[in-house]
Chain A
Amino acid sequence: KQEVTQIPAALSVPEGENLVLNCSFTDSAIYNLQWFRQDPGKGLTSLLLIQSSQREQTSGRLNASLDKSSGRSTLYIAASQPGDSATYLCAVTDYGQNFVFGPGTRLSVLP
């Protein structure tokens, strides 16, 4: 059974810092991996999708990498801003198209 973990569970950084969020999964037979952002009381917003054949994806200040063989993905946020404060979730899709979510990392960026 696929299991997804995220470290750290919570992170607090001063504005302007670069930071890395980590996601690990136990079964490397994935179809894709997706990073989401969730604001308090809101739904999930897709940030980046990485196909299993890809190594990374970039969108603005965000860069996500994928290492299938080691079962890891990282989300790099450059020059963090208070508006980046949210919970970040990663999810992997297996070939049955079922998504398994991690528990999330709660990020606070302090002004």
Chain B
Amino acid sequence: GDSVTQMEGPVTLSEEAFLTINCTYTATGYPSLFWYVQYPGEGLQLLLKATKADDKGSNKGFEATYRKETTSFHLEKGSVQVSDSAVYFCALSRGAGSYQLTFGKGTKLSVIP
């Protein structure tokens, strides 16, 4: 079945450091890929998405590129802020019209001043 593997946390960075959170997936066909973010005490929010190979999703300074050859969708940000402290989830759906999301286990990021 489908699965998503993301790097274990927690990750602690200093403000303005570079962030990478690795995500790889296993799925048949051509899934859509997502990063969701969960701020403390809140529900999940979509951060960015990519629906086909080589697409780059971006939002709020975060980026991720859909790499089909390596089945990866790594999240990056050039300069993190304290306000980026949250749990980040990589997820996939099977594609067009698919209802179900398969999530990774989440990576907790803490950014210290």
Partners in one complex: no
Q: What is the interface of chain A, defined by CB distance below 8 A to chain B?
A: none
Q: What is the interface of chain B, defined by CB distance below 8 A to chain A?
A: none
